[in-house]
Structure 1
Amino acid sequence: MTRPGARKVAMFLGASLLASAGAGGVAAQGRGTAAGMYTSAQADAGGRLYAIHCAMCHGAGLQGTVEVPPLTGRFVANWGGRPLGELFHYLSRAMPQHAPGALSAADNANILAFLLRTNGAPVGGRELPSEATQLERIRFDAIQPAP
């Protein structure tokens, strides 16, 4: 006889393993930001949105402050190698700080495109999707500084 909570734990562990395997599958597919996953126009739109909704806390140059983290440098180290969907979810529910969740999915995708460009990810020929499930399949590649 199985304990009532054991089935829930088994289902959670199974889902966690599938999620981990899915993340590994993303890496194996090679769909990462290094392949150019946003357009220049999308990043430009994101830059305008950033100036209105984000710069007041993170700074015009994305440098952050003592209380607010920068969106360059260690930002890439923190998010690099993870699915863009994770960052998109965070932006969607926690930002902007003064009105969490107030921006549309398209606005968040544009801001994400701006962050990618600012951190050295190359421009591509297609817009970054604004649907979280599609973004889960795109890896945020760690950007290597130019020599």
Structure 2
Amino acid sequence: MRKTWLGLGIVAAAFAASPVLAQDAAKTIQDGVYTIEQADRGAELIGESCALCHGNAMRGSPAGPSVMSGFFDKWGSKPLSDLYAYISTEMPLDNPGGLAPDDYVDITARILALAGAPEGTETLTSDETALSKITIADKAK
């Protein structure tokens, strides 16, 4: 009986370390978590809803601060859900939370592109549980 439990323990440990179970492993924004199409749509939305305060490149204007200056200092090591939640509840200042969730995720994708994160083949989702599994990380670190 003792050998059976030991054998089961070894099999369980092997399964736990298996790459098949690691599919849900944490990602960073450097893993290509958005598509270029999303970032392009986000650029259009930024022009319509954000540029007045932040400029088209999100580098600031006389009316508002830069989003990109110190981006990784402010958001680095945090889950992407934090950035998305902030944008989708606080912006734009004249209509906080007034855009559709897909619009906010497209704007998030554009911000990631401006921050130098590579595009990928998977569409970024507005699901905050999924976004919480993606860490904002600078490629230099």
The reply to whether TM is greater than 0.5 is yes
**TM-score, scaled relative to structure 2:** 0.77
What stretches of structure 1 of length at least 5 have no aligned partner?
Answer: 1-28
Aligned mates of 2:50, 2:27 — CA distance in 1: 28
2:122 is matched with which residue: 98, 118, 126? 126
**TM-score, scaled relative to structure 1:** 0.74
Aligned mates of 2:139, 2:73 — CA distance in 1: 9
In the superposition, relative to structure 1, how do residues 113 and 53 fare at CA in structure 2: closer, same or farther (>3 Å)? same
In the superposition, relative to structure 1, how do residues 144 and 36 fare at CA in structure 2: closer, same or farther (>3 Å)? same
Larger gyration radius, structure 1 or structure 2: 2
Question: Is the contact made by 1:38 and 1:126 (CA closer than 8 Å) also made in structure 2?
Answer: yes
4+ residue runs of structure 1 moved beyond 6 angstroms? none
- Per-residue deviation, 1:67: 6.1
Match of 1:139 in 2: 135
Q: Tell me how large the CA RMSD over aligned residues is.
A: 1.6
Corresponding pairs, count: 117
1:113 is matched with which residue: 109, 115, 127? 109
Q: Secondary structure at 1:144's aligned position in 2?
A: coil
2:35 is matched with which residue: 39, 47, 67? 39
**Map of 1:10-49 to 2, 5 A cutoff?**
29-49=25-45
Please state if 1:54 is matched with 2:50. yes
What stretches of structure 2 of length at least 5 have no aligned partner?
Answer: 1-24
